[in-house]
Structure 1
């Protein structure tokens, strides 16, 4: 048989090959058009999601229920207008704005609004997914697009609900802790706050504020002086207006020497009939006793339970400070678990900070008072508004368990302003320890009050204009710095760091 193709056969074969090529080209063209159409549909769907993210409701105006879309856009615009007005309110009337924004009713409205907005925004994302007509998407795009839509819906809902939880924590903190009852009027231009560290251990009767420090704050500059008092001081006098004055007209004293300053709280708590209608008789009586000792009028008191203090420090992520000496964790009558090691710029967690502040082993009460003020100083310098905001839930949760105060919610903004001002200035300090107080059972109260007054005067003088050389007194008298008060503590100290704590930055350095 001949293998040679006839002209008719070749023409037929060429015609067959051209037909197959045409079919392939047609198929490729159809597939390209289909992929292009699928890409357009996917981009359309992604555009709807982006529109919903940036301008909630705009996707509905473009391709869905326009009434719903316009309503959502109006709500979104109103939120931005309200945010702008709030920012202007804060700038123009800062104190009033904080007072309004921390009010219980305001916080409740904000909390509910955030939850409703979160749910509504999530529904708009799901509707944007529906408007994209998922069945028309390519099979390979459907799952990813659905997951993206659900993820965005969940993210905005969860974010706003989490914000609502922060607002709820703020509202509960304000209503639980800032119950009010203090005196907001400044005394000689200063706000005096009694800070007490309480310890209600299993081996003690009632709560005793073993740490007592008065923060005396300049109302204008925020410059602060910390006045620390020893727990073992006796004969603390009470003002004539105090119910305790009738019981102890010669000061808080007992024959067995058990009537120390830290026992005032327990005594008044056990004799509540002396303070009818007072929520915390122990704190009120302690405030009155410390007024008698220092000569300062106390505006507010705040009590922190030291057992929960470590939770508060952990809630803010720990504190960084110089540890000027190694301090035992435990020890004394308890098991020694280790040490808070000395070092510069050490980052302490809650447990280490607590033991550095309160450890009594291998230490005197006076050294302990210094360490407590060093911890206070570190926290004052590091608790910036951003830290408080980002970790507010943990702070609020810890605070509700361990903090009590008579500062009213209306004064939160004032105290925040003063704290912010205080951060920019060195904190002054005076400790009522030997030689300022030679005998804790019979303290020289006039000498103590004079020393406290001198330290506050020195602090206030730091913000006064410096006299020029031309302002020197006639006769060439010198304008040299004033001599140290005779009540200043000497460098020989019963504590490890010395009694002169007028410069906390120096005292607390490693």
Structure 2
């Protein structure tokens, strides 16, 4: 017969074994999920193409203000190269930049607030007449054509006075593949409009657009009352729809679908080589509480349109832009937008 002390020790051993077994049963799926998540993260991040020397050649870059050290400014460029070959991401089979071959069709600055509770997507009209370093006056989208990503960043920093932290570039092929991977994107067209350039008519109502259709829709300006300004609104409306209805809802419910979309995105995306995987992961984690309602969409203030020689251009409102970019530097964009509602992208666009 076991003595009381031995019985207690035996019960303790049995209890420890039982608890250890229970812990293994509970933790194994968690650990397995963690390993899988880390593997997928590494695999996806490894697919992103890196662009070297993006911030080189500019030794007089704007500094961050003390109050906005945690804020992040990302320059988003959509290139307009008409090519059947991808030019961005690891899926690229053609050069990402060839002098004179392409321009930046969409130019946006994504400003992420320092407290990570808000963000702003700020569009700059591609025909904005600015000074391009080393080339003199020209349309802002020509900077990418003249000197690639590095000159594009340098031009944006000189025009805005803000410091760009990172760059992300996607071409038309990437846009098309991403849209198709989502099963199309559904947009509401408020009124019937005809695109005489592409000979396409968009009837009023709801349309689920394929990649090719979405490219036509966000690229149209012929037949739109506001021309290029309406095109900017369409680009932002498309982005807002993707974030609101697709990424934040459907993909969360379907992990396999989410992986397929992220796989397509990372294969077609190019970013600056200074943007490490760890920095990307840290930024994504810090944005876990950001909701779509906290993202504002706006266009920089403009003074009007005009001609510079034979070129139709957009003249920026210097005073309005100075106020806006000061707000970006001070991390107070939401306050600026509240007092300048005319710059905000309307909820419904033509």
Matched, 1:210 2:105: yes
Matched, 1:264 2:143: yes
Range 228-237 or range 191-200, more displaced: 228-237
Q: Which residue of 2 aligns with 1:190?
A: 71
Q: Which residue of 1 aligns with 2:166?
A: 300
Alpha-carbon distance change, 299 to 431 in structure 1, aligned in 2, over 3 angstroms: same
Matches within 5 A, 1:359-378: 359-363=220-224, 364-378=227-241
Alignment deviations for residues 192-222 of structure 1 (CA, whole Å, 9 cap, x no partner): 1111111111599422111001111113233
Does structure 2 conserve the Cα–Cα contact (< 8 Å) formed by 1:180 and 1:409?
Answer: no
The gaps in structure 1 that reach 5 residues or longer are 1-73, 91-99, 108-166, 238-243, 254-258, 269-281, 463-481, 490-499
Does structure 2 conserve the Cα–Cα contact (< 8 Å) formed by 1:436 and 1:448?
Answer: no
Whole-angstrom CA distance in 2 between matches of 1:352 and 1:418: 34
Does structure 1 conserve the Cα–Cα contact (< 8 Å) formed by 2:189 and 2:204?
Answer: yes
Displacement after TM superposition at 1:423 (Å)? 2.6
Q: Which residue of 2 aligns with 1:175?
A: 46
Matched, 1:405 2:271: yes
Matches within 5 A, 1:482-493: 484=339, 488=340
The root-mean-square deviation of aligned C-alpha atoms, in Å, is 3.9
Alignment deviations for residues 447-494 of structure 1 (CA, whole Å, 9 cap, x no partner): 3121344586351589xxxxxxxxxxxxxxxxxxx8x4xxx58xxxxx
Q: Which residue of 2 aligns with 1:110?
A: none
Of Structure 1 and Structure 2, the greater strand share is in: 2
Displacement after TM superposition at 1:267 (Å)? 1.0
Q: Which residue of 2 aligns with 1:349?
A: 210
Alpha-carbon distance change, 284 to 342 in structure 1, aligned in 2, over 3 angstroms: farther
Q: Which has the larger radius of gyration?
A: 1
Q: Which residue of 1 aligns with 2:322?
A: 449
Structure 1 counterpart SS, 2:72:
strand
Whole-angstrom CA distance in 1 between matches of 2:25 and 2:202: 50
Q: How many residues are paired up?
A: 292
Matches within 5 A, 1:11-26: none
Alignment deviations for residues 257-283 of structure 1 (CA, whole Å, 9 cap, x no partner): xx3211111211xxxxxxxxxxxxx21
Structure 2 counterpart SS, 1:507:
coil
Matched, 1:314 2:180: yes
Q: Which residue of 2 aligns with 1:339?
A: 201
Q: Which residue of 1 aligns with 2:247?
A: 383
Alignment deviations for residues 66-89 of structure 1 (CA, whole Å, 9 cap, x no partner): xxxxxxxx99986852443578xx
Does structure 2 conserve the Cα–Cα contact (< 8 Å) formed by 1:431 and 1:501?
Answer: yes
Structure 1 counterpart SS, 2:129:
coil
Matched, 1:234 2:129: yes
Q: Which residue of 2 aligns with 1:161?
A: none
Q: Which residue of 2 aligns with 1:81?
A: 27
Structure 2 counterpart SS, 1:192:
strand
The gaps in structure 2 that reach 5 residues or longer are 1-19, 56-62, 85-97, 308-312
Whole-angstrom CA distance in 2 between matches of 1:359 and 1:438: 20
Whole-angstrom CA distance in 1 between matches of 2:216 and 2:276: 31
Whole-angstrom CA distance in 1 between matches of 2:145 and 2:25: 51
Whole-angstrom CA distance in 1 between matches of 2:101 and 2:79: 10
Q: Which residue of 2 aligns with 1:459?
A: 334
Alpha-carbon distance change, 399 to 177 in structure 1, aligned in 2, over 3 angstroms: same
